[in-house]
């Protein structure tokens, strides 16, 4: 089974930011959870998640997406293994994607995630950034960019989440 995405978790992250992305992309392939080690990671809400791989293992995997949630990103700043992940993603055919404060963690690499207040999701080259409140739109956008969802299928799934028409609906 193809590895579609690797979610990069860290202590104090907001798993809620990427939960819809995991749910959407896991329909089409493997979604891996990376942590600083294989020890459980506790997110900002107290949820404990056991990573399936470590940061050091991410660069050996051909993921279509590297996904970084928001939360307290201070442990990522200057982290050599995290820096390797970002370099790997930017030097390969991979979408580097982040949401909320996860966008801030990428500024150290010169990646601008300045999303205009009128936008929920910003797409530039192989970089996707999203406002923290746009987690479902972020998930659907990744599904479309990966070729897994048509805009119509994304609209249908978004409608299912919210029970009302989405911006993907015509």
Closest by Cα among 122, 23, 32, 18 to 70? 18
Q: Which pLDDT belongs to residue 81?
A: 94
pLDDT digits (tens, 9 = 90+) for 78-102: 899 999 999 888 888 899 999 988 8
pLDDT digits (tens, 9 = 90+) for 29-40: 999 999 999 999
Q: Which pLDDT belongs to residue 164?
A: 60
Helices 135-145, 151-162: axis angle to 10 degrees equals 160
Q: Which pLDDT belongs to residue 112?
A: 58
- Calculate the CA 104 to chain-centre distance: 13
Sequential pLDDT tens for the chain (170 residues): 788 999 999 999 999 999 999 999 999 999 999 999 999 999 999 999 999 999 999 988 889 999 999 999 888 888 999 999 998 888 888 999 999 888 777 776 666 556 677 788 988 888 898 988 899 999 999 999 999 999 999 988 887 776 666 555 55
| Domains, in order of start, for the chain | 3-144 (3.40.50.880)
Contact (Cβ atoms closer than 8 angstroms) between residue 31 and residue 66: no
Q: Which pLDDT belongs to residue 143?
A: 95
Strand order of the sheet with strand 65-68? 53-54, 30-35, 3-8, 65-68, 95-99, 127-130, 121-124
Task: Label the pairing between strands 121-124 and 127-130.
Answer: antiparallel
Q: Which pLDDT belongs to residue 147?
A: 94
């Amino acid at each position: 089974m193809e590895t579609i995405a690797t979610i990069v978790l860290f202590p104090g992250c907001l798993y809620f930011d990427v939960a819809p992305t995991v749910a959407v992309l896991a329909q089409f392939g493997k979604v891996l959870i990376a942590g600083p080690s294989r020890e459980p990671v506790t997110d900002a809400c107290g949820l404990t998640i056991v990573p399936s791989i470590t940061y050091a293992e991410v660069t050996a995997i051909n993921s279509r997406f590297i996904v970084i949630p928001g939360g307290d990103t201070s442990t990522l700043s200057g982290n050599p293994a995290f820096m390797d992940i970002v370099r790997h993603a930017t030097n390969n055919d991979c979408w580097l994607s982040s949401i909320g404060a996860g966008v801030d963690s990428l500024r150290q690499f010169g990646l601008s995630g300045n999303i205009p207040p009128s936008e929920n999701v910003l797409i530039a080259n192989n970089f996707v950034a999203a406002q923290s409140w746009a987690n479902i739109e972020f998930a659907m956008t990744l599904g479309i960019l990966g070729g897994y969802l048509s805009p119509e299928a994304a609209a249908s799934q978004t409608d299912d989440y919210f029970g009302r028409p989405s911006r993907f609906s015509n």
